[in-house]
Chain A
């Protein structure tokens, strides 16, 4: 029984209330008082030996101790440190080389640093005697400014010294100044601190009192600076620490280009990944869902909702949409009619979302008949307002905008227009925002119009739809060039080629696919039992036929001529040359001297075949033809859109298409099963060959494990043909899923064409 004086928060028992009851040491320690900081600084030398990393010790402690400590280096208990030995560079704790490291490697004795001050630090100074310190008289008649100018000049002339040296000098100078100031106060602490350690070595030099000639001695022990960054700085200090000039010294390591995954590899890798926090994430979503009633109530009272927090909030808005749908279905307007409540959903993260599209969708809900809508967004908006005033809907229309703070919805008129839309009482806006600084998008006026209630909806769900991971990382690293190559090139090339060339490529792929499909189906039926028994031995199976891989030139030419793609052999060759140049196809001659033409961008992967077959299946049922029998297919929900991007499929695939396709099935949900059910005999034998060729090319780098190799040789057809591409690793391992889409699309085109021609 909840305590009565508690309200919303208690009932919702949402994430934020859970939070408040937990201890957060990280946050508590985030802001130490200045007092603590100071004392911590002072005490550091005393604590050093017990707690610090070995590298830190190196700076302040004599060699003897260092050697002892070296042994401790190995057995630090944490997992990360254990793994450290395998990684060639750096500890995982500090990614970047800390600036202190460089100085303190050679800075064993602080004395040398101190001395530098009194010498001129430039190397090529011709006016100074190198060893002697300048006399006091000479010093006196040099103004500080002249000195610094001179130093600057000589540095520029010599050019030898880098910024780092300059920085070092500055630091030394600063330390000199600081230590002069702090000497008095610091001395007491140091005497008891580091001073104690030094006593055993140089007992004679250290008296009890204040060491006067500390500059000369082997250690007026300077405060040793550690290479690890200072812990527990307040946020602003941390900012300045990390932004100090010259402070970021990073290594010059670069990421090997093949270590980044491409789309295929990424998706393949993610299929096998199971989130260990899946249960908790679901629970979190469940918690948020308990607030759906409350949110509905808030919407009813004329507020708009804004959900923020880490994680994709699309699952949540989907639930909310379902909830609102149920809720509104109870409304009187829908009792006795077959009308259903309309909920407008807008995905703001999609780059092609335009304001006009948004407004048109909203207008389609509000305006009863298909009257002509104004073209301009502004007049469309005022048209919507008029419609709302004239015949208001029976209840406010929910408008759900996912990722309203996306780049594409930030452009000038859009937020203002959305705000004026949200200000209408007939529209209930629910929006989600991802970035942490989204409130800056709206000024006071817009905020007043939006009338938002904000809710923390941290879901920890992956941003699957919102981010194109591979693309985004490539862009981040400035490697957008990478995408040109491999499969992606096909889309580009095809889009830039004339219609004839596209048709030719379609014909080629269709032919090749048809061959494969026939061959693959037969082989699959034949081999099922064999594979179940010896799944590892697949790649060793002998090649049954090499010839089915490609299409004969002659055949291809005739087909092309039949479809009026080209009229002469010369034209045919010219068209093919373009593909050759982009390494999209390759030609070969067999023993008989016949020329064959092969494209690597054709689905040899069984899964893609299955997907294509499934599409076929759906089409068959759509056209009332007997189905072919396929089971356990995986189907990507995005297939249709992917196909669309490659060719105008929407003209041939009817809009009812998705009804025949279970969109819930995650794509390639059971990779291994799919593999074991592989029917592609031809792919296998080609796989053996492909493996060898790629290995030859890449020096064994292509397949990292034997196990993987055996699995991947399934897609060996691709690897084999992909030799032309020369990116052994990137291509050989690729599941060629999307090229499968391409093929599937073509298959659809062919099938539909054939079906249409049948009766």
Chain B
């Protein structure tokens, strides 16, 4: 079938595959696989729901505005085309989904037709109009011949056929489907040819008395640069309004908050994976979809490949499990650490039971999963507390919640300068900030089971203080340096510096004490909450933190893989003949046993940017040719095949500089 171009797969007649697929080995990876996948789907459905809600919520404000704009723009008697400039930010990849969602809203909430055009639809005005008409009136017709394009209704009405790009089609369509406005969205306005845009706007303007157009331009740069591309005459036809879309990094932050750093997530990604996903977002993709893909894949990997994830199933009973699952738990590093700690503590009887009895282990696992989840939820909650604390104190540099969480989850928070600095500025907090902070916390719906501080107490005490201070909120904070002044005295030609503290009133002292108490309690809370997740028993189940499949799957290094395969085939083949006697340096790795392409690749690496094929051949022949005389055609065949492969992979290209020379196009490792 390799010579066919496209075909439908048909299985070979012989069905000899069946016995081959039975696995005999003991470690069957498919134990509980359906259950595990079911658990995965269950948990992921929850997450997906959260993601969807977050995305909708993020867009809602902007979408509301746009929908209002569209519906208010509908009345007729207009002199200009109402135009929405949607500044959607530089993350082009998420524009498509945004306009999809927007279209659904507009269709639902207003009586308008909605069409999205991309730059691919509009190489010139004619094609643009054709596509527009086709999409708007949703006709399914062949457009390969213009003669057929005459819409029967319009031709019947006018007696003459309309051409395929005549806006009369839309007019006719509107007669049949009365809509208030025809909304046309240009998803990537930067990619449109400016001339096409100008012509199109002129045309739309001339039709405005018959078709109520509303234009929406998706803009990745800025509204000003969009206006610069149009002529002034054209701009006069437009009446613009600007809409700012929530930027994707902001959305990512919110997604992270609900999917990872929220308090009710049964499974989390670990700091390594989280950091990778976030970095990738920042550096490359900037696409909300990709974030959720990464998260999903982490969940998939977790449940697909690891037995003990079955314990995350919500209603699990002992009878559902096989001994393999328990064996797997006993092999986990966190289990060993835990057991060793227990042995050290002298609880050897429990240890014995745990090692022997599955029932006991099951009970322990269930209870520890609960407590582990609680601990992780507490950690996330503490992160949110810290985040809102920093935001209330307006500390710089601004740290994102996600980065705080990653630091906390990698047990990098306790004793870090970051935390210390925050706590210090907490101590110096002014009363206004204090009030603001307390408000933020109470409005932040932090779960009281995790955030143990009694906020109400602080609020009431502070209010009492303010009352006692004659309703004035001005307190001096004992810890604040701003209340100290330096006094310089010159005594006997020596300069003496002395600190002078402003005298504090009773209220000031009480306030300072209150702040000090908060500082202390919060410090204790953080010390409690910022645990090292890796120390938890069963942390492997509760947190997925393996970078191995994740990185390669999302950020492949194909060039590296190919170069590696060619330069050291032993890595892949694991054969005895090559690579056993690899000395230092490149020379030792070149042996006649290598695959032909690998040999040629080595020679290729050593040569300059222009390669003489004749010399290449003689070198190659010297490598592979043996003493038998008839080996030459075979060596030549191998040589030709290897050369063709190098060409296929794009390593070489023909060169006209000299005869029988080829040009090198890739340098290894660059």
Would you call A272 an interface residue if the criterion is a C-beta within 8 Å of the partner chain's C-beta atoms?
Answer: yes
Would you call B471 an interface residue if the criterion is a C-beta within 8 Å of the partner chain's C-beta atoms?
Answer: no
Would you call A530 an interface residue if the criterion is a C-beta within 8 Å of the partner chain's C-beta atoms?
Answer: no
Would you call B609 an interface residue if the criterion is a C-beta within 8 Å of the partner chain's C-beta atoms?
Answer: yes
Whether A276 contacts B593 by the Cβ 8 Å rule is yes
> Which listed residue (B305, B660, B662) contacts A254, Cβ 8 A?
B660
- Give the distance in Å from the alpha carbon of A433 to the alpha carbon of B649 in the complex: 10
CB-defined interface of A490-508 with B at 8 Å, one 1/0 digit per residue? 0000000000000000000
- Give the distance in Å from the alpha carbon of A400 to the alpha carbon of B8 in the complex: 10
Whether A8 contacts B548 by the Cβ 8 Å rule is yes
Whether A3 contacts B332 by the Cβ 8 Å rule is yes
Whether A350 contacts B640 by the Cβ 8 Å rule is no
Please give me the residue from chain B that is nearest to A456 by CB atom: B561
A231-B586, A473-B644 known; A281-B549 Cβ under 8 A: no
Whether A254 contacts B659 by the Cβ 8 Å rule is yes
Whether A353 contacts B140 by the Cβ 8 Å rule is no
Whether A253 contacts B622 by the Cβ 8 Å rule is no
In the complex, what's the smallest C-beta–C-beta distance from B343 to chain A, in angstroms?
21
| Segment of B59-67, B401-409, B626-634 in the binding face | B626-634
> Which listed residue (A95, A382, A436) contacts B616, Cβ 8 A?
A95
- Give the distance in Å from the alpha carbon of A586 to the alpha carbon of B290 in the complex: 69
In the complex, what's the smallest C-beta–C-beta distance from B191 to chain A, in angstroms?
10
A579 contact set on B, CB distance < 8 A? none
Would you call A489 an interface residue if the criterion is a C-beta within 8 Å of the partner chain's C-beta atoms?
Answer: no
> Which listed residue (A10, A277, A345, A386) contacts B305, Cβ 8 A?
A10
- Give the distance in Å from the alpha carbon of A362 to the alpha carbon of B170 in the complex: 31
Would you call B658 an interface residue if the criterion is a C-beta within 8 Å of the partner chain's C-beta atoms?
Answer: yes
Please give me the residue from chain B that is nearest to A659 by CB atom: B13
B8 contact set on A, CB distance < 8 A? 342-345, 361, 364-365
- Give the distance in Å from the alpha carbon of A545 to the alpha carbon of B544 in the complex: 82
- Give the distance in Å from the alpha carbon of A464 to the alpha carbon of B637 in the complex: 13
Whether B26 contacts A1 by the Cβ 8 Å rule is yes
Please give me the residue from chain B that is nearest to A273 by CB atom: B634
Interface size class of A (residues with CB under 8 A): 35 or more
Whether A469 contacts B644 by the Cβ 8 Å rule is yes
Would you call A756 an interface residue if the criterion is a C-beta within 8 Å of the partner chain's C-beta atoms?
Answer: no
Would you call A638 an interface residue if the criterion is a C-beta within 8 Å of the partner chain's C-beta atoms?
Answer: yes
Would you call A621 an interface residue if the criterion is a C-beta within 8 Å of the partner chain's C-beta atoms?
Answer: no
CB-defined interface of B577-602 with A at 8 Å, one 1/0 digit per residue? 10000101111011111010100000
A476 contact set on B, CB distance < 8 A? 613, 643-644, 647, 652-654, 662
Would you call A623 an interface residue if the criterion is a C-beta within 8 Å of the partner chain's C-beta atoms?
Answer: no
Would you call A114 an interface residue if the criterion is a C-beta within 8 Å of the partner chain's C-beta atoms?
Answer: no
Would you call B17 an interface residue if the criterion is a C-beta within 8 Å of the partner chain's C-beta atoms?
Answer: yes
B293 contact set on A, CB distance < 8 A? 303, 451
Within 293-311 of A, Cβ neighbours of B (below 8 Å) are at: 293-294, 297-298, 301, 303, 306, 308-311
A321-B9, A345-B9 known; A26-B3 Cβ under 8 A: no
Whether A250 contacts B612 by the Cβ 8 Å rule is yes
Would you call A637 an interface residue if the criterion is a C-beta within 8 Å of the partner chain's C-beta atoms?
Answer: yes
Whether B29 contacts A11 by the Cβ 8 Å rule is yes
CB-defined interface of B532-557 with A at 8 Å, one 1/0 digit per residue? 00000000100010101100111010
- Give the distance in Å from the alpha carbon of A470 to the alpha carbon of B610 in the complex: 21
Would you call A160 an interface residue if the criterion is a C-beta within 8 Å of the partner chain's C-beta atoms?
Answer: no
- Give the distance in Å from the alpha carbon of A283 to the alpha carbon of B589 in the complex: 22
Within 348-364 of A, Cβ neighbours of B (below 8 Å) are at: 350, 352-353, 357-358, 360-361, 364
Whether B615 contacts A96 by the Cβ 8 Å rule is yes
| Residue in B302, B615, B662 with the greatest tally of chain A CB atoms within 10 Å | B615
- Give the distance in Å from the alpha carbon of A27 to the alpha carbon of B96 in the complex: 42
Would you call B143 an interface residue if the criterion is a C-beta within 8 Å of the partner chain's C-beta atoms?
Answer: yes
Whether A280 contacts B615 by the Cβ 8 Å rule is no
In the complex, what's the smallest C-beta–C-beta distance from B46 to chain A, in angstroms?
16
Please give me the residue from chain B that is nearest to A473 by CB atom: B640
Would you call B77 an interface residue if the criterion is a C-beta within 8 Å of the partner chain's C-beta atoms?
Answer: no
Would you call B289 an interface residue if the criterion is a C-beta within 8 Å of the partner chain's C-beta atoms?
Answer: yes
Would you call B614 an interface residue if the criterion is a C-beta within 8 Å of the partner chain's C-beta atoms?
Answer: yes
Whether B575 contacts A277 by the Cβ 8 Å rule is yes
In the complex, what's the smallest C-beta–C-beta distance from A571 to chain B, in angstroms?
38
Would you call A484 an interface residue if the criterion is a C-beta within 8 Å of the partner chain's C-beta atoms?
Answer: no
Whether A379 contacts B3 by the Cβ 8 Å rule is no
Would you call A68 an interface residue if the criterion is a C-beta within 8 Å of the partner chain's C-beta atoms?
Answer: no
- Give the distance in Å from the alpha carbon of A157 to the alpha carbon of B556 in the complex: 56
Whether A231 contacts B6 by the Cβ 8 Å rule is no
Please give me the residue from chain B that is nearest to A240 by CB atom: B667
Would you call A532 an interface residue if the criterion is a C-beta within 8 Å of the partner chain's C-beta atoms?
Answer: no
A254-B614, A273-B634, A374-B142 known; A7-B556 Cβ under 8 A: no
Would you call A515 an interface residue if the criterion is a C-beta within 8 Å of the partner chain's C-beta atoms?
Answer: no
> Which listed residue (A17, A254, A448) contacts B287, Cβ 8 A?
A448
Whether A4 contacts B331 by the Cβ 8 Å rule is yes
A352 contact set on B, CB distance < 8 A? 5
> Which listed residue (B3, B571, B634) contacts A24, Cβ 8 A?
B571
Whether A435 contacts B649 by the Cβ 8 Å rule is yes
Would you call B255 an interface residue if the criterion is a C-beta within 8 Å of the partner chain's C-beta atoms?
Answer: no
B582 contact set on A, CB distance < 8 A? 25-26
Whether A250 contacts B610 by the Cβ 8 Å rule is yes
Whether A280 contacts B573 by the Cβ 8 Å rule is yes
> Which listed residue (B96, B549, B637) contacts A269, Cβ 8 A?
B637
Please give me the residue from chain B that is nearest to A465 by CB atom: B2
Whether A232 contacts B585 by the Cβ 8 Å rule is yes
> Which listed residue (B93, B134, B569) contacts A445, Cβ 8 A?
B93
| Residue in B592, B606, B653 with the greatest tally of chain A CB atoms within 10 Å | B606
In the complex, what's the smallest C-beta–C-beta distance from A646 to chain B, in angstroms?
15
Would you call A394 an interface residue if the criterion is a C-beta within 8 Å of the partner chain's C-beta atoms?
Answer: no
Whether A445 contacts B554 by the Cβ 8 Å rule is no
Whether B565 contacts A309 by the Cβ 8 Å rule is yes
Whether B633 contacts A447 by the Cβ 8 Å rule is no
B662 contact set on A, CB distance < 8 A? 476-477
Would you call A325 an interface residue if the criterion is a C-beta within 8 Å of the partner chain's C-beta atoms?
Answer: yes
- Give the distance in Å from the alpha carbon of A18 to the alpha carbon of B333 in the complex: 22
Whether A308 contacts B142 by the Cβ 8 Å rule is no
Would you call B201 an interface residue if the criterion is a C-beta within 8 Å of the partner chain's C-beta atoms?
Answer: no
A11-B305, A375-B142 known; A95-B656 Cβ under 8 A: no
Whether A464 contacts B2 by the Cβ 8 Å rule is yes
Please give me the residue from chain B that is nearest to A325 by CB atom: B11
CB-defined interface of A634-671 with B at 8 Å, one 1/0 digit per residue? 00011001000000000000000000000000000000
B569 contact set on A, CB distance < 8 A? 277, 460
Would you call B108 an interface residue if the criterion is a C-beta within 8 Å of the partner chain's C-beta atoms?
Answer: no
Please give me the residue from chain B that is nearest to A457 by CB atom: B561
CB-defined interface of A8-35 with B at 8 Å, one 1/0 digit per residue? 1111000111110010111101110000
Whether A448 contacts B93 by the Cβ 8 Å rule is yes
In the complex, what's the smallest C-beta–C-beta distance from B398 to chain A, in angstroms?
26
Whether B654 contacts A475 by the Cβ 8 Å rule is yes
Please give me the residue from chain A that is nearest to B635 by CB atom: A269
A269-B637, A460-B572, A469-B640 known; A30-B669 Cβ under 8 A: yes
- Give the distance in Å from the alpha carbon of A268 to the alpha carbon of B566 in the complex: 26
A5 contact set on B, CB distance < 8 A? 306, 332-333, 540, 546
Whether B558 contacts A433 by the Cβ 8 Å rule is yes
> Which listed residue (B27, B96, B589) contacts A1, Cβ 8 A?
B27
> Which listed residue (B9, B306, B617, B632) contacts A704, Cβ 8 A?
B632
Whether A95 contacts B607 by the Cβ 8 Å rule is yes
A8 contact set on B, CB distance < 8 A? 301, 304-305, 548-549
| Residue in B293, B556, B592, B653 with the greatest tally of chain A CB atoms within 10 Å | B556
Please give me the residue from chain A that is nearest to B96 by CB atom: A445
Would you call B99 an interface residue if the criterion is a C-beta within 8 Å of the partner chain's C-beta atoms?
Answer: no
Whether B120 contacts A7 by the Cβ 8 Å rule is no
CB-defined interface of A90-124 with B at 8 Å, one 1/0 digit per residue? 11111110000000000000000000000000000
**Shortest beta-carbon contacts, A-B, top 6:** A235-B669, A465-B2, A7-B305, A248-B608, A269-B637, A436-B559
Give 14 A-B pairs besides A79-B592, A231-B585 with Cβ atoms closer than 8 angstroms: A4-B540, A15-B572, A80-B592, A87-B619, A92-B618, A238-B667, A250-B658, A273-B638, A322-B11, A364-B8, A460-B572, A462-B641, A466-B648, A469-B641
> What would 11 A/B residue contacts be, using CB atoms closer than 8 Å?
A3-B331, A8-B305, A88-B618, A232-B585, A314-B2, A322-B11, A343-B9, A445-B95, A445-B96, A448-B93, A704-B632
